[in-house]
């Protein structure tokens, strides 16, 4: 649910910036809640959804049995109930845990299996985890219950001193077809981009990875003490270690582009492009792409 983290972040920021201001009235809080619920109900366009925010509470009628992460502190739940038969309903539950992400992931995997969930085949992460990576990228789990036609996605990531855990359960009337497709295709499509780790002292916020048919792209916002060419050189070292060969490099204004060649798992020769643009001192936009030219 792409808008949910943004909405929660905006609400948190709003509260922090409003400290010197008068205490919100009950009317203000009611209007804020109304706006939040409207935003949570709008991600699917014309599909009619009823949203509920349950602060500090689990769903009263869960779509499936849910585990509790080690030492988990329940923040609350977001419920979305579809009024359209063809559209999915979903429930997301949010926890904070003091345990390390790897420990949380292991505990959740064990608990989900004991609760009757089956792991989806293939890599549960986004397209095999290629492209730009954050310093501590989130970990993913993907499970399903075929009898109830529901799927579960868990995201586990470290933020400061806590591990944030999101458990999202969604009704999926096409689950059998999805499983059949994954079986025929051997799981989710896998990116041919190598994972690029952030240089020392650099903060990377990945903003998307996607593609197919041999052509993939990864995008990120970067904050770094390195200059433009230094940042591109550091990522270039990682590309060379992954088997990429530098063909050309050009500088246009505040944008540096490097052209590469590499072979994928099937030994197809592909072209790679790494582009870094300086938006302000120490702030960059970056794109890594692979290009497959088919005859």
Percent of the chain with pLDDT over 90: 53
- Residue 172 in contact with residue 149, Cβ under 8 Å? yes
- Residue 286 in contact with residue 132, Cβ under 8 Å? yes
Closest-CA residue to 270 (of 222, 216, 220, 223): 216
pLDDT digits (tens, 9 = 90+) for 189-223: 678 899 899 998 998 888 877 777 778 899 999 99
* pLDDT mean over 42-65: 80
Highest CATH level, class, for 195-291: alpha beta
* pLDDT mean over 39-60: 75
Least confident of 37-51, 172-186, 199-213, 270-284: 37-51
Residue 184 has pLDDT above 70, yes or no: no
Closest-CA residue to 93 (of 69, 127, 122, 121): 69
Please report which helix (H) or strand (E) contains residue 73, including its range.
strand 73-82
pLDDT digits (tens, 9 = 90+) for 35-47: 776 666 655 555 5
**Residues listed for the chain:** 295
Residue 6 has pLDDT above 60, yes or no: no
**Domain locations in the chain?**
29-185, 195-291
Residue 113 has pLDDT above 80, yes or no: yes
Confidence of residue 295 (pLDDT cuts 50, 70, 90): low
């Amino acid at each position: 649910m792409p808008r949910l983290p943004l909405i929660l972040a905006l609400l948190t920021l709003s509260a922090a910036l409003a400290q010197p201001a008068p205490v919100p009235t009950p009317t203000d809080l009611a209007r804020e809640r109304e706006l939040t619920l409207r935003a949570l109900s709008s991600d699917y366009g014309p599909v009619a959804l009823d949203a509920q925010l349950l602060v500090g509470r689990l769903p009263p009628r869960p779509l499936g049995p849910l585990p509790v992460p080690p030492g988990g502190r329940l923040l609350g739940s977001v419920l979305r109930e579809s009024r359209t038969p063809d559209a999915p309903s979903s429930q997301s539950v949010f926890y904070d845990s003091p345990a390390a992400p790897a420990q949380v992931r292991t505990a959740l995997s064990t608990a989900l299996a004991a609760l009757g969930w089956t792991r989806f085949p293939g890599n549960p992460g986004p397209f095999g985890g290629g492209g730009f990576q954050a310093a501590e990228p989130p970990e993913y789990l993907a499970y399903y219950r075929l009898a109830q036609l529901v799927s579960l996605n868990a995201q586990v990531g470290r933020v400061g001193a806590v591990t944030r855990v999101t458990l999202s359960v969604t009704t999926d009337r096409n689950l059998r077809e999805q499983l059949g497709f994954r079986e025929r295709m051997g799981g989710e499509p896998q990116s041919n981009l190598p994972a690029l780790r952030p240089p020392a002292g650099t903060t990377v916020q990945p903003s998307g990875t996607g593609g197919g048919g041999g052509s993939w792209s990864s995008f990120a916002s970067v904050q770094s003490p390195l200059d433009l060419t230094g940042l591109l050189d550091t990522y270039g070292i990682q590309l060379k270690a992954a088997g990429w060969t530098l063909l050309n490099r050009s500088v246009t204004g505040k944008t540096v582009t490097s052209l590469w060649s590499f072979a994928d798992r099937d030994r197809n020769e592909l072209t790679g492009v790494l582009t870094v643009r300086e938006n302000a001192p120490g702030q960059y936009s970056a794109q890594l792409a692979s290009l497959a030219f088919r005859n």
